[in-house]
Chains A and B, each alone.
Chain A
Amino acid sequence: MDNLILKIDNISKSFPRVKANKNVTFNIRRNSVHALLGENGAGKSTFVKILYGLLKADEGKLIFNGNILNVESPSEARQKKIGMVFQHFSLFDSLSVRENLILGIDNDMSFSNLQKKVNEISDKYDLPLDLDAPINTLSAGQKQRVEIVRILLQDPELLIMDEPTSVLTPQEVESLFKTLNTLLKEGRTILYITHKLEEVINLCEEVTILRDGSVIESSMLENETAESLATKMLGKKLSEIKTDYSYVKNSINFKAHNVSQSFNNPFNTDLKNISFEVKEGEIFGIAGVAGNGQSELMGLLTGESINDVSGSIKFNETEIKNFNPKNRRDLSIAFVPENRLGHSAVPELTLIENVLLSQFPNNNFLKNGMINYKNIEIQAKKIVNDFNVVTPGVDVKASSLSGGNLQKFVIGREILSNPRLLIISHPTWGIDAGAEHSIRKSLIELAKSGTSVIVISQDLDELIEISHRISVIFNGKLSKSFDTNKISISEIGLLMGGNNFD
């Protein structure tokens, strides 16, 4: 055997109207961490799905350990010692860790055997697991740990990690990297899919850059800098964004005072006495580790969850605590929730139809009670144009767009409604650097025009980059706020860990 574990030879894959992979060719050396770097829509996901048996390539071949690899399904891939940890966890929320592990393995294994093997793996890789804990009580990092252990039970030679750090805290990322290093020392090979340049530089030895479905370059990392990688990935240079306070006005238009909401169930975090204010033209960031009440706070702010709320939420002196999303939109408040598919957009509907999902008082989409699809189509085209949404047209289903492009479309839809307040959760979650950049820039542009923006995000860098003030949410409580230019990362880090709350 040579030292190449996987040779990828001219893989091509087309979808209707899109060529996702064009003659992808590169090699992965045995016992290395190989980065696959590219924007969303560059074809990374398509390629790994082919490798993992979820899709079939139109052309080309894969040579794994010297043999032609032809897998029809993930379970077949796992048998051939290829494992994959997905970006979106594929775990059953209401089942325990043990039950999830049992479901994930293809061969029969007794409970006691499983226990033994899990303990072995936990010890060896420093991945502690409470087998009886229900998945929904775990943090994102712990869920990922379950996924990794599940894959390690199958003893893979090649481990594919798809954007593994997108939902992790800095500490969790560190421990993940430790685990990956242990795996490497054992002689395993890791294919690391990401769009984060720092990770490539810190972790990987070799990098393959994909852009528009083609391999731009495959090279050793020692020949690369962050800048050179970014240029090759994006094909263009990123411009700098600087936060300035000059356009923040003194008038406060959003006030939440002592807002609490209890759910009486183990699946939600109760919100406790949340108070904050947002000025016109200000971007207010809410940081925090996942699962500390962010989604509950978002539901409260959008009006999707208005039961058992106490306290007051005022927008321009109007009490909106009991308003549903439609009532709030009538006051020109716009929302972008975290999930695109099935929440802020309906995957089965076309982009044109999706424009209609959030209706504002000043649009012209209805005429004599009938839907005016002509005007909506014009608006959809405007969104696509103004926000550089890559799509074959506005009459395609939302599900056919890549995550970044759909997010650009959704944010564009909300921004073009000229909102006076935009509430947005995880604006750049799972999105490539190019889209990330343009989304952040458009949020700042929006604030400059006098709109207040509330951003809930786990991405601290993002909040520091765009917000004027930052609060931290921890266990359903919101910290006091800090001007972004006056706080240090360590201060925020302490708050995220639950320290220094009154």
Chain B
Amino acid sequence: MIDFIPELKARGNPSSIMNFSVPIIAVTLTIITGSIIFAIMGFDPFFALTTFFISPISNSYGISELLVKATPLALIAVGLSFCFKNNLYNIGAEGQLTMGAVVGGGIGIYFHDTQGFWVLPLMVCGGAIGGALWATIPAFLKIRFNTNEILTSLMLVYIALLILDYLVVGPWKDPNGFSFPKTRKFGDSGRMPILFSGLRVHFGIIITLIGIFVSWLIFSKTMLGYQLKVTGFSPIASRYAGFSQNKLIYIAFIIAGACAGIAGLGEVSGPIGLLYRDISPNYGFTAIIVAFLGRLHPIGIVFASLVIALTYLGAEDAQLFMQIPAAVGFVFQGLVLFYLLGAELLVNYKIVFRKKI
């Protein structure tokens, strides 16, 4: 017999300080929970956390790897924030990333023995167009048939992955590749320039930083950002203002798709250099966490992408030095999202126990 039933009650004026600290609280709680999990698994929590969060970035190579991972995450997340601010739940960035890599990578394969400064820019454009076109499909379906974009964008991820799969084992297979499911390498003109010799951090990070800056500009200074904000808060007010909702849906999806596509192209023309099956360790899905951890703000997203990138690196080190599966990185990402949503809820609502009548 339950005598007290919990109930959520809206707080009148949520504290703005608490609101601001939600990401910090989430990360702190994640670390605490993580050490408890490590302790249960029989590891010294301090040693485990050091292995997971400190040692991966204790040298320049580590820092470079962190930036390599954060590069696509931040770019995809900032693109997604255009959708999320407009209450469009595009969770298909992984598919848009894949199609960006396919179109941009296809150009790279076609020009694999051509030299020219224009090859890489052409590939980047191809990546943007591939991702953007893939993203217009859920936008079109939503506008024309009022479908739920969560479902369509997610389903399109698997279609994109299968297209990539087909290409790398079929028509685009490397003729000298001993039937491995991969394409030939891009030419040197089709590779992202390396920024520091010996390190993998590449020109993609510059593209990401430009993307971050441009999004900040759009959100804070342009009519487009204002329109997205108004529509997200109140579709009725947006209609009153005369903003075209359909146009905004297309724009948000196209920007998100283009960002994801460029991020995908950055991966294949950067660290990888060719197309194969597993070009992305779920960057497209993880970027959703990054976007919300960064509170949909371009600057917040920069920090969030670094935190989440660290969980990828930490997982690799943990696998190496502690013999635990790399999937523990996903556990940490899940924990961050869980605490983030929880903290966000509790900042805006309080739990009261009401006596059952």
Tell whether, in the assembled complex, residue A304 and residue B240 are in contact, meaning their CB atoms are under 8 Å apart: yes
Q: A324-B242, A327-B242 are in contact. Are A346 and B233 (CB under 8 A)?
A: yes
A329 at interface, CB cutoff 8 A: yes
Task: Say which one of B145-153, B221-229, B256-264 lies at the interface with A.
Answer: B221-229
Chain B, range 212-241, C-beta contacts under 8 Å to A: 221-223, 226, 229-230, 233-234, 236-237, 239-241
Q: Mark B318-347, 1 if CB is under 8 A from A, else 0.
A: 000000000000000000000000000000
Q: Which residues of chain A have C-beta atoms less than 8 A from B230's C-beta?
A: 346, 349, 357
B357 at interface, CB cutoff 8 A: yes
A55 at interface, CB cutoff 8 A: yes
Q: Which residues of chain A have C-beta atoms less than 8 A from B243's C-beta?
A: 326
Q: How far is the CA of A339 from the CA of B357 in the complex (A)?
A: 37
In the assembled complex, how far is the CB of residue A374 from the closest CB belonging to chain B, in whole angstroms?
12
Q: Which residues of chain A have C-beta atoms less than 8 A from B239's C-beta?
A: 304, 325
Q: How far is the CA of A290 from the CA of B74 in the complex (A)?
A: 52
A224 at interface, CB cutoff 8 A: no
- In-complex Cβ contact of B241 among A79, A106, A326 (8 A): A326
Q: Which residues of chain B have C-beta atoms less than 8 A from A359's C-beta?
A: 241
In the assembled complex, how far is the CB of residue B251 from the closest CB belonging to chain A, in whole angstroms?
15
In the assembled complex, how far is the CB of residue B188 from the closest CB belonging to chain A, in whole angstroms?
38
B176 at interface, CB cutoff 8 A: no
Tell whether, in the assembled complex, residue A371 and residue B241 are in contact, meaning their CB atoms are under 8 Å apart: no
How many B residues touch A, CB cutoff 8 Å? 22
A185 at interface, CB cutoff 8 A: no
B352 at interface, CB cutoff 8 A: yes
Chain A, range 323-382, C-beta contacts under 8 Å to B: 324-329, 335, 337, 339, 342-349, 353, 356-359, 366, 369-371
- In-complex Cβ contact of A344 among B223, B240, B352, B357 (8 A): B240
B59 at interface, CB cutoff 8 A: no
A73 at interface, CB cutoff 8 A: yes
Tell whether, in the assembled complex, residue B352 and residue A353 are in contact, meaning their CB atoms are under 8 Å apart: no
Q: How far is the CA of A106 from the CA of B221 in the complex (A)?
A: 50
- In-complex Cβ contact of A329 among B221, B222, B236, B242 (8 A): B242
Q: Which chain B residue shows the least CB distance to A400?
A: B13
Q: Which chain B residue shows the least CB distance to A371?
A: B221
Q: How far is the CA of A354 from the CA of B223 in the complex (A)?
A: 13
Tell whether, in the assembled complex, residue B357 and residue A346 are in contact, meaning their CB atoms are under 8 Å apart: no
Q: Which residues of chain B have C-beta atoms less than 8 A from A326's C-beta?
A: 241-243
- In-complex Cβ contact of A302 among B12, B222, B237, B240 (8 A): B240
In the assembled complex, how far is the CB of residue A272 from the closest CB belonging to chain B, in whole angstroms?
24
A141 at interface, CB cutoff 8 A: no
Tell whether, in the assembled complex, residue B240 and residue A337 are in contact, meaning their CB atoms are under 8 Å apart: yes
Q: How far is the CA of A16 from the CA of B357 in the complex (A)?
A: 35
Q: Which chain B residue shows the least CB distance to A327?
A: B242
Q: Which residues of chain A have C-beta atoms less than 8 A from B241's C-beta?
A: 325-326, 357-359
Q: How far is the CA of A304 from the CA of B236 in the complex (A)?
A: 9
Q: Which chain A residue shows the least CB distance to B232?
A: A348
B144 at interface, CB cutoff 8 A: no
User: What are 8 sample pairs from A and B whose C-beta atoms fall under 8 A apart?
Assistant: A72-B352, A73-B9, A303-B242, A325-B241, A357-B237, A371-B222, A371-B223, A371-B226
- Please provide the 8 A-B residue pairs with the shortest distance between their CB atoms, ordered closest to farther: A326-B242, A325-B242, A342-B234, A348-B233, A370-B221, A357-B241, A346-B237, A324-B242
A residues contacting B by CB (< 8 A) are: 15-16, 55, 72-73, 75, 79, 106-107, 302-304, 324-329, 335, 337, 339, 342-349, 353, 356-359, 366, 369-371
